[in-house]
């Protein structure tokens, strides 16, 4: 079968393999933060900071590290997730009936041929150049828009949602009804889910930017993000005014004879009255795919919409099923991206910016230049080693490139344009924000500010705290958070829970109702968030969501919830939470080795937790939440005298894969833990059961190959109730 990770440059893997474990872990952590931030800015805020090409480079390096150092692969890694979390500030959530997947990328003809080779191996077909007549591909132009799913019941459009994180999206039904290309009623009374892409035509993008320029407003960056922002408007009338359009490309029809191919599905979509991009081709071998991509390389610029590549899919659905998928992408499809457009400009300055973990990232300030209709003035240079490797200097003429987005990366300096006035960039010895002496990790490229109280770090740490996965305070987005910090209304995480309606009402564009809504959201976060999410929200280095769950359960066995009565309204702080805080700080500072008792915590993570609770800026972070009246939900633990070993799945290792109707992935894994079992992410000889939902993919094949017991959702429920008996 093909590998479980997207293809990468072997040179990157070799470079990663040469790193020792500590260096690789540090680099992996930095990359994960950068990719997560890029995902948030692109998918959730519709305001990307880096180009597609820069994102792809970061992501490929991350995959190379995980290929060379498999221990770095965790459920929290960006390589294991699709897209970004739903924004959650305006729209309700929609759980997709089937996951909406992302695609791996190819950037050259050779990488397309390598994809074909992996498909052939996965299907047991002869390697090229031998013919494989039973293998055919469909090539479709890749639309630079926002992925959506449309639900039709008895022919009527009843619900539409964004992709979100691939499992859960945002309900944007009212806004999608304003998109003229999406019919309210199909040609037949069928019930189906339809996947597609909503986009803003180039002419509409130009019209809106012309109006904004006349009004003195900032211009939108590109049609993709302008279209995504338009679809997420609170007022459908605003969406309607933007004249969005759509193409559809996937059909999941209930109770109908099975469609055998992607080509047939596209024809069926047309017959139902749905918009299908006519610029696609079927019946292709991989050389035909390459010819299709070349035919559109220049011709695409004359299209009415943005496209940055070609999506290639195995045509036959039975072959797609056999190939399966990796954690974030199908093995039977790939996105070929055209080489980025390039322009020349000048580096006026290089300025270091401080991120959430304190890492100093050099950013090039450029002479503003038009790239495909958008003005670009900044580009990240990633790190000091990258600046040195590319030999980029202040005052250089440089080549920048566009790859889907107009926010660029710096490709190279134009060396023959130098006149001797250029200056080599040097990273400052002190943090440019707080003045603390910076530190360079030994053997790594990371240079960072070690001051946990640095304002630049705090701003992003607080964003992590209030975001999804943490305290999930709806309405506390970056614009609101920035104002709270600028006005000195928050100096710690606990200060969110001390805000008043009068303080919130004083924020820009906040009326009384907005302030009251945000205060209610803060109130909901104060009481009942799981302890694991409180721990994750603290932003302890190396503690991801899964580790936070395990740490919370471990703490609950040491500080038993049943020993403390539930708090009343007038009981602040919560005595149990106060005891948990005291115990975690004691263990972290006095006997950190004890933390390695927790599933998934080794010496490096234990040391990171110990540092967090030893540094003055963070040592009291949880204590402040206790004092602010935060009351977490208490994890369930066995009664006194009853060992968790009495659970029906004690000693059993369980892998959950595919889509389960009655459980999210997190809920299924929590159910395994509650029954005494151990949920893990990959199949091995030590696995006792594989729980296989729809689209189980390669894990199912591997379990069958190893002779591991496979159960469906009904069997999973029986295991939870009675174990293996």
The percent helix, strand, coil of the chain (3-state, each to 5) is 40, 20, 40
> Comparing C-alpha atoms, which of 581, 590, 589 is closest to residue 611?
589
Dihedrals phi, psi of 474, to nearest 5 degrees: -65, 135
Tell me the β-bridge partners of 347.
366
Known catalytic membership, residue 652: no
Counting every residue, how long is the chain?
725
Number of Cα atoms under 13 Å in the Cβ half of residue 723:
15
Question: Judging by DSSP bridges, how do beta strands 653-657 and 678-680 pair with one another?
Answer: parallel
Strands 333-337 and 105-106: parallel
Alpha carbon distance 194, 200 (integer Å): 19
Q: Which residues of 76-86 are buried (b: 16+ CB within 10 A; e: fewer)?
A: bbbbebbbbbb
Q: Which residues are CB-contacts of 102 (< 8 A; sequence separation ≥ 6)?
A: 82, 83, 166, 328, 329
Return the structure tokens found at 629. Answer: 């009246």
CA-based radius of gyration for the chain: 26
Residue 401, classed as helix, strand or coil, is: strand
Note whether 518 and 471 are within 8 A (CB): no
**E strand segments, 478-559:** 527-530
Tokens coding 679: 């949920």
Which residue, 53, 76, 212, is CA-closest to 605?
76
Measured in whole angstroms, the distance separating CA 239 from the mean position of its chain's CA atoms is 25
Report whether 190 contacts 155 (CB < 8 A): yes
3-state secondary structure labels for all residues of 325-342: ECCCCECCEEEEECCCEE
- 101 in Cβ contact with 330 (< 8 Å): yes
Pairwise CA distance, residues 586 & 197, whole Å? 52
Within a 10 A sphere around the Cβ of 450, how many other Cβ atoms? 14
Q: Which of 142, 678, 699, 702 is catalytic?
A: 142
Would you state the structure tokens that stand for residue 492, as one six-digit string? Answer: 């710690």
Strands (E) located in 154-271: 156-162, 168-170, 192-199, 245-253
Distance CA 359, CA 648 (A): 46
What is the helix (H) or strand (E) element at residue 351, kind and residue range?
A: strand 341-354
Contact 588, 457 (CB under 8 A): no
Could you list the active site residues?
142
């Amino acid at each position: 079968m093909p590998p479980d990770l997207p293809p990468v440059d072997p040179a990157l893997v070799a470079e990663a393999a040469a790193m020792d474990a500590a260096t690789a872990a540090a680099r992996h952590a930095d990359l994960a933060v950068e990719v997560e931030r890029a995902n948030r800015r692109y998918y959730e805020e519709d305001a990307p900071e880096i180009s597609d090409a820069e994102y792809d480079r970061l992501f490929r390096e991350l995959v190379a590290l995980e290929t060379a150092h498999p221990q770095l692969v965790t459920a929290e890694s960006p390589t294991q997730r699709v897209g970004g979390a739903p924004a959650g500030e305006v729209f309700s959530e929609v759980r997709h009936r089937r996951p909406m997947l992302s695609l791996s990328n190819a950037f050259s003809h050779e990488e397309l041929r390598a994809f074909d080779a992996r498909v052939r191996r996965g299907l047991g077909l002869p390697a090229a150049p031998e013919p494989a007549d039973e293998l055919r591909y469909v090539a479709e132009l890749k639309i630079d828009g926002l992925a959506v799913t449309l639900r039709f019941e008895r022919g009527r459009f009843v619900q539409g949602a964004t992709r979100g994180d691939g499992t859960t999206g945002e309900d944007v039904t009212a806004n999608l009804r304003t998109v003229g290309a999406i019919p309210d009623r199909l040609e037949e009374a069928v019930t189906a889910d339809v996947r597609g892409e909503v986009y803003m035509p180039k002419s509409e993008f130009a019209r809106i930017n012309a109006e904004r320029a006349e009004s003195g407003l900032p211009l939108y960056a590109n049609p993709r993000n302008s279209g995504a922002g338009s679809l997420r408007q609170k007022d459908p009338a605003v969406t309607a005014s933007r004249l969005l359009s759509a193409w559809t490309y996937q059909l999941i029809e209930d109770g109908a004879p099975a469609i055998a191919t992607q080509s047939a599905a596209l024809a069926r979509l047309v017959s139902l009255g749905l918009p299908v991009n006519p610029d696609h081709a079927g019946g292709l071998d991989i050389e035909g795919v390459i010819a299709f991509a070349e035919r559109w390389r220049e011709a695409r610029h004359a299209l009415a919409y943005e496209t940055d590549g070609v999506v290639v899919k195995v045509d036959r659905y039975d072959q797609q099923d056999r190939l399966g998928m990796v954690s974030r992408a199908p093995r039977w499809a790939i996105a070929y991206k055209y080489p980025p457009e390039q322009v020349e400009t000048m580096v006026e300055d290089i300025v270091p910016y401080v991120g959430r973990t304190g890492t100093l990232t050099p950013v090039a300030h450029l002479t503003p230049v038009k790239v495909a209709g958008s003005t670009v003035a900044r580009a990240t240079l990633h790190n000091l080693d990258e600046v040195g490797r590319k030999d980029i200097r202040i005052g250089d003429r440089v080549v920048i490139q566009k790859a889907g987005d107009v926010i660029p990366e710096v490709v190279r300096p134009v060396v023959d344009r130098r006149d001797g006035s250029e200056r080599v960039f040097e990273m400052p010895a002190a943090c440019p924000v707080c003045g603390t002496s910076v530190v360079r990790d030994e053997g790594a490229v990371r240079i960072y500010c070690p001051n946990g109280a640095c304002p630049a770090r705090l701003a992003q740490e607080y964003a992590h705290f209030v975001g999804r996965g943490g305290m999930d305070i709806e309405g506390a987005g970056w614009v609101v958070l920035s104002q709270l910090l600028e006005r000195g209304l928050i100096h710690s995480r606990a200060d969110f829970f001390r805000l008043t309606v009068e303080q919130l009402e004083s924020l820009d564009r906040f009326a009384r109702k907005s302030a009251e809504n945000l205060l209610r959201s803060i109130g909901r976060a104060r009481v009942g968030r799981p302890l694991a999410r409180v721990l994750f929200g603290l932003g302890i280095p190396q503690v991801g969501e899964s580790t936070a769950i395990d740490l919370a359960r471990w703490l609950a066995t040491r500080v038993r919830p049943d020993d403390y009565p539930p708090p009343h309204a007038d009981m602040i702080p919560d005595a149990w939470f106060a005891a948990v805080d005291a115990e975690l700080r004691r263990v972290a500072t006095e006997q950190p080795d004890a933390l390695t008792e927790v599933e998934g915590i080794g010496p490096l993570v234990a040391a990171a937790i110990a540092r967090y609770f030893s540094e003055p800026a963070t040592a009291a972070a949880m204590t402040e939440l206790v004092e602010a009246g935060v009351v977490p939900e208490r994890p369930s633990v066995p009664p006194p005298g009853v060992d968790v070993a009495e659970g029906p799945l004690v000693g059993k290792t369980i892998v959950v894969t595919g889509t389960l109707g009655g459980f999210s992935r997190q809920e299924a894994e929590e159910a395994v833990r509650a029954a005494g079992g151990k949920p893990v992410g990959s199949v091995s000889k030590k696995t006792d059961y594989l729980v296989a939902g729809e689209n189980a993919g390669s894990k199912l094949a591997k379990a069958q190959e190893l002779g591991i017991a496979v159960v469906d959702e009904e069997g999973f429920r029986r295991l939870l109730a009675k174990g293996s008996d």
